[in-house]
Amino acid sequence: MFKKVLIANRGEIALRVIRACKVLGIPTVAIYSEADAGTMHVQAADETVCVGPAAAARSYLNIPNVLSAAESVGADAIHPGYGFLAESSHFAEVCELVGIKMIGPAAATIGLMGNKVSARALMVKHGVPVVPGGAMHATLEETAALANRMGYPVMIKAAAGGGGRGIRRVMGAQALPQALQTAQNEAKAAFGDDRVYIEKYFSHPRHIEVQVLADARGQVVHLGERDCSIQRRHQKLIEESPSPVVDASLRKRLTQMALRAARACHYTNAGTVEFLVDGHEVYFLEMNTRIQVEHPVSEMISGIDLVVAQIQIAAGMDLPWTQRQIVLRGHSLECRINAESPDTWEPSPGTITTFRPPGGPGVRIDTAYGPGSIVSPYYDSLIAKLLVHAPTRAEAIARMRAALSEFTIEGIQTSLPFHLRMMSHDAFIKGDYSTQMLDG
C-alpha cells in the first residue's frame, strides 16, 4: 500500500479522498491555493502544501508546483479527484516518468479515451455503436457538408475534454458558422485544443452512464447505470440509479457495452462509460477516465466504496469481488447543490452564514463547507451533494424532498429551491424526462 497520498484537488472531492485514505490508514497531503487556506479539506489532511495563488492555472493546474509538493513531502501517489488534472494525460505521463503513482488509469488510456474522435474509432472497432456523425471536421466547409448529409439539427462537440464545454446545438445551416466558431473558441480556452467533431442531434434522449471498476489483471465489473438526464446546458444537476426507463433487457445491453468498452482500452481503476439512449437505441458518447461527481449514487446502491477501490487498484490489488457478488439494492438520488441563483443560474459567491444539513436514515451529504465558509468565485460553484437511498424510487423522492426542505444555507443563493421544485415536478416523478427538459 502507498506510504503517503497527495490529493491534487480541493473541496468536497479532496475531503472525500482524505476520508478514504484514513480508512486504509494512509497519511494524506492536501494542496491548496492561497484562496483556500483554512478550508475544510486543508484542515482534515495530515500535511498541507500551498501550491500557488487563487487562479487555478497557477495552483491546482500548475503541474510543476503539484509535483514539487508531492516530492517535497515524500508522497508516492497522487489522487487527482475530478476536474483540474484528473483527465490530463500529460500529467499522468509526467507522474509515470518521475515514479509517482497517479491513482487512475495509465496516461495512454487517458489520452486515447479523452479524445472523443479516437474513442469513437475504438468503439466502432469493438462493436460498440456510436452516435451517427463524423470524425474531426475543423473547417466550415467540411462541417457544413457533413451536416447537410446528416440533416439538421446537429451537435458540434470539442474533440478533447468534457464537462459540457465546447458543445453547441445547431438547428439549421445559417447558424452553423457562428456555432462552429464559438465551439472551437470555447474548446481552445477550456482544453487548449480547438478541434471539434459533429454528431446527429436527438430531441429527447436520455443520458445514461455505467460505472465500471477494472484491475491490472483484466478483471472488469460494473455497478449498474446512473441516469444523468436532468441537465442544464450539458451540466448535470440530478442523478439517480437505477434509471426509471432502463428495463432488465436494456440494462444488460448497456452494462455489456460498458464492459466491452473498458476492455477495449485496457482500462484499469474506476471509470464511467457514458451513453445516449433514444428509446431502445443505445449509442456510446464518451468514457470518463476518473472518479465522477456523481459516484456516490453507485456507492449507495452497491455498498462499495469507490474511492477506496481506486486506491487499492492503483496499489496493485485485485478486485475483491466478481460481478455475481455485486448486489445492487434500492434506489438512490443525488442533487448537486450549487452556489447559484435558482432562477437565473448566476453564480453566488460569498460567505455562508448558516449551514444546517439534513439527516436521518438513508441521507448522505458530501461537502467541504459549513458556517463561515467562503464560496470563492475562482472555482466551481458546487458546494454540496445531497444523496438519499431508499427501497423504491417513490420513497427515495419523498426522502429527498424532506431532506431538501430541511437543508438550510444562508448568506448566498443556492439551487436548493430548484431541486425542491424538481422533486414535485410531474415529469420527474413519472420518470418521463430527457436531457432537453430544462433547455427547451
* Residues 334 and 296 sit within 8 Å (Cβ to Cβ): yes
DSSP secondary structure, 328-365, as one string = --SEEEEEEEESB-TTT--B--EE--EEE---STTEEE
Helix (H, G, I), strand (E, B) or coil at 274: strand
Catalytic residue among 10, 168, 290, 364: 290
3-state helix, strand, coil split of the chain in percent (to 5) is 35, 30, 35
**Which cell numbers hold the place of 380?**
466551481
**Nearest Cα to Cα of residue 159 among 115, 206, 93, 215:** 115
Q: Where are the alpha helices (DSSP H) in 45-88?
A: 63-73
Other C-beta atoms lying within 10 Å of the C-beta of residue 168: 21
**Nearest Cα to Cα of residue 307 among 211, 208, 195:** 211
The amino acid that residue 376 corresponds to is S
* Residues 285 and 131 sit within 8 Å (Cβ to Cβ): yes
Whole-number CA gyration radius for the chain: 21
Output 369-377 pairs: Cβ under 8 A, ≥24 positions apart: 369/40, 370/40, 373/39, 373/40, 374/349, 374/350, 375/339, 375/348, 375/349, 375/350, 375/351, 375/412, 376/35, 376/36, 376/54, 376/349, 377/347, 377/349
CA dist., res. 350 & res. 381, Å (int): 11
Q: Is 290 a catalytic residue?
A: yes
Q: How far apart are the first and last CA of the chain?
A: 50
Strand partners, 206: 277
Other C-beta atoms lying within 10 Å of the C-beta of residue 381: 21
For 177, the enclosing helix (H) or strand (E) is: helix 176-191
Catalytic residues: 290
